[in-house]
Amino acid sequence: MEKLTIKDIDVKGKKCLVRCDFNVPVKSGKITDETRIMGALPTIKYLMEQGAKVILCSHLGRPFNIFNATIDRKKIKPADAEKTDDQLRQETMEKCSLEIVANRLNELLDNKVTFVNDVVGEEAEKAVNACKEGECVLLQNLRFYKEETKNDQAFAEKLARFGDVYVSDAFGTVHRAHASTAGVVQYGYIKTAVAGFLIEKELNVMGKAIEEPRRPFVAILGGAKVSDKIGVISNLIEKVDTLIIGGGMAYTFFKAKGWNVGNSLCELDKVDLANDLMEKAKAKGVNLLLPIDTVCADKFDNDANRMVSAGGVPDNWEGVDIGPETVKLFTNALKGAQTIVWNGPMGVFEMPNFAVGTKAIAAALAESDAITIIGGGDSAAAVTQLGFASKMTHISTGGGASLELLEGKVLPGIECLNNK
């Protein structure tokens, strides 16, 4: 169902608790990619301009729960075993604090953002109460509390006290039922829950492409494992005209067809499933395409010896990319398509010598007149690294969330929003 957005309600004078995705990469004390910050700005600016009191919350990295009494030492790396809890907390604070995001936001929002080194305690409460219309408060990293990912009801209640309205704008987290993504609404503490502009775009573009696609509709799936995308494949077979499968997951299908896979990644326990999926595609009249030749390497290294093998993979070699004939097959299948969804690289694209297939697919999408949607994660990273991002219709901001949307699953962080 269509969800209410921030434009559907009056926010003036109201405290808007906004779940953002500020999980940005940080190296040597600097943000190395601001895409997620820039993606959040339209929603934040709109709320400020409308006179809302904007309370921002997010996570950053996978920190220890430093605001709890004890640290789970089962999760500590061996190199850190001798460090005290206080040392670990301090290092976590330095590495995962959202203060660096607050500093950047202040540069972008005329110093109207107050950062508070707390989430639900007294310091946070004071900052929220002092927030004026058209200003922002950014709370500290939500995951400094273990209660966040556990969707703890008491924690969700404390967080919900900071909002008259809940605004969901972190698509990368909506597939998780955490306190900040679902609990604040799920437990009934905030009655008005709406989508921000980022969520609205994801639902409009990806949702419509899947449910009401312009045809021919082609889906390209890559990545490592069939098991990661069983639901996606099954759901898309019901919707697409052509399904292209590449990447490491293709070798399980090779095995199902009786082809040799050498040392390639292959899930032997999913071979029967691969057969079932191919039969299902055939029964539905879906054109399911697998690689017809493979770039093989004698070891997992960019400088490994390479060869191209038609069909299967020779013994003691492993498949690392689609071959030149497969590139022709796949790119020809994209010609004339009106909707193309891509999730997962065609090979080990992190290694330049094995990125040829992924780059060829990205180039074909960039030249296409179709609606082109990149389903987050490695695909988004590949398109960005290869310089084709600006040529795509939409690049999803959520890897796991976009996969579950493609799979047809209910996303807790979307389901909890008010329907129009």
Nearest alpha-carbon partner for 362 in 337, 339, 343: 343
- Quick: pLDDT tens for 224-270: 877 878 888 988 999 999 999 999 999 999 999 999 999 999 999 99
39 is catalytic: no
pLDDT at 386 > cutoff 70: yes
Average confidence score pLDDT of the chain? 92
Specify whether 225 is catalytic: yes
- Of 25-29, 207-211, 318-322, least confident by mean pLDDT is 207-211
In whole angstroms, how far apart are CA 165 and each of 37, 99, 131, 188, 196?
21, 24, 15, 12, 12
Contact (CB, 8 A) for 371 and 334: no
Q: How confident is the model at residue 402 (pLDDT cuts 50, 70, 90)?
A: confident
Residue 122, pLDDT above cutoff 80: yes
pLDDT digits 0-9 by tens, 302-318: 999 999 999 899 999 99
Q: Quick check: 369 pLDDT over 70?
A: yes
* Catalytic residue of the set 15, 36, 89, 229: 36
Pick the catalytic residue from 51, 121, 134, 400. 400
Query: What's residue 1's pLDDT?
Result: 59
Which CATH superfamily includes the segment(s) 213-407? Phosphoglycerate kinase, N-terminal domain (3.40.50.1260)
As annotated, the residues of the chain forming the CATH 3.40.50.1260 domain(s) are 6-200, 213-407
Lowest mean pLDDT among 264-278, 308-322, 399-413: 399-413
Catalytic residue among 39, 196, 347, 377: 377
> Mind giving me the DSSP string for 49-92?
HTT-EEEEE---S----TTSS---GGGS-GGGTTS-HHHHHHHH
Once rounded to an integer, what is the mean pLDDT over residues 51-65? 91
Q: What is the widest separation between alpha-carbon atoms in the chain?
A: 68
pLDDT reported for residue 232? 87
36 is catalytic: yes
User: Annotated catalytic residue: which of 83, 161, 225, 280?
Assistant: 225
Q: Check if 29 is active-site.
A: no
Nearest Cα to Cα of residue 44 among 58, 57, 29, 56: 56
Q: Which fold has domain 6-200?
A: Rossmann fold (3.40.50)
Q: Residue 186: pLDDT above 90? A: no
pLDDT number for residue 159: 96
**Mean pLDDT confidence for 393-411:** 83
